[in-house]
Amino acid sequence: MGNKAGALLAGRLLLALLCVVRNGAAMSGPSDTWAVIISSSRFWLNYRHSSNALGVYQAVRRLGIPDSRIILMLAEQPACSPRNVHPGQLYLAPGAGAAAGGSSGAMLNLLSGDAEVDYRGREVSVDSVLRVLTGRHPPGTPASKRLRSGPASRVLLYLTGHGGDEFLKFHDEEELLAADIAGAVHQMAAAGRYGELLLVADTCQASTLYGRIAAAAAPNVLAVASSKLGQSSYAHHIDPVVGQHVVDQLSFHLHQFLSGSGPGPSPSLQQLLDYLGAQRLSSEVQVRTDLSPRHPARVAVTDFFGAAMPGAPAAGGASPAPVGCVGAGAEGSRAAAALLQLAAQQQRGHGTAAAARQGQQQCWHQHQHRQQLLPLWQQLEAAGGSSDAASWLVAGRGTEAAVVAAAWAIAVVLLRVLLQY
């Protein structure tokens, strides 16, 4: 009888675990919004392009898009440059370089300890960008490097770097052409990889990058550019401590606007455009609306730069239980609570370790941590695991891989208990 009771308890614990991981979306699933954020420039002198991208990354994360739905591509990591007087840190606010040593500087660091860069350095290329957009990856590409959007998804595509008439430079060696972007967007539309798409480009002659997108082949596309044909885009300010221009004008004001968004009704895309127009940029912001049936005044900023917060309780004040979890029993409920507590501990532990790291050690740790987790991700994906499970558990915050790893380890232990009986 004792063996049967132990097997029954282990079975209930395993059922509770599966309910939490597989049906977590019923508790607090984010809306189907994705972001692809790309900085294409190398070298220390292009510090501002990395901070442009990281500023947008931090803003959309704060507005609710989990890391599992963000593809961040940085061709350069100025925070890890030996020229950086604040190793492991990146700033865009005026005066942030001088304030970095004080207590307020930590709040301004764009490269926080839990920032997840999916493609870095030489991984960021014209080929990798087109593969991300079209979904044509080599076998074995981990889920964290894939844009897994669908026909109902809203996709934000943000581009920054050095550009010209119908091109964006990568590493000062190759160019992403307007025809390449148009072809990729056309393929995305044909394959059902987006429902609506917003393209934002902060580069010289930025509006030329979306000029070849055809309305018949790619409907439901909006585009915003920092400059028109024949016009340069400009940096916002130089930081005398860092010794570089640290952010471009459009990206700085975009970050400021998004940072001011909070609880309550979302401002519209038209309000964002009006705000940018009022900043007297050195270039003229361009907008393309003919590809979308929705006017910017009817598009909420959080449609593309944010996501739905955890759902409200159902009528009667209680959240509905995920299907199949009712029979888990009290033991199963305690197991689910313990799993969530473990996830929170993993998240807090990661944040504490990240805060303790300093300078170049932080840069190396991020690379080493990524290499250690890659085999785990491949095993999870091969076994049918979902990286979204972690974002459901921790509402899209913290290190999702750590949460999935914890859940996976518990599942293995429970299975071993079952096999003993």
Q: Which residues are catalytic?
A: 162, 204
DSSP secondary structure string for all residues of 124-186: -SHHHHHHHHHT-PPTT--GGG-----TT-EEEEEEES-EETTEEEETTTEEEEHHHHHHHHH
Number of C-alpha atoms within 13 angstroms, CB side, residue 128?
23
What b/e string do you get for 371-396 counting C-beta neighbours within 10 Å, with b at 16 or more?
eebeebbeebbeeebbbbbbbbbbbb
Residue pointed to by tokens 């599942």: 411
Task: Report d(CA 340, CA 147) in Å as an integer.
Answer: 27
**Tokens for 370?**
């990524």
Closest of 65, 59, 208, 40 to residue 147, by C-alpha: 65
What is the Cα 249 distance to its own chain's centre?
22
Closest of 212, 206, 227, 224 to residue 164, by C-alpha: 206
- 307, 281, 74, 304 alpha-carbon torsion, rounded to 10°: 20
Cα–Cα separations (whole angstroms), residue 188 to 120, 185, 191, 227: 24, 5, 5, 25
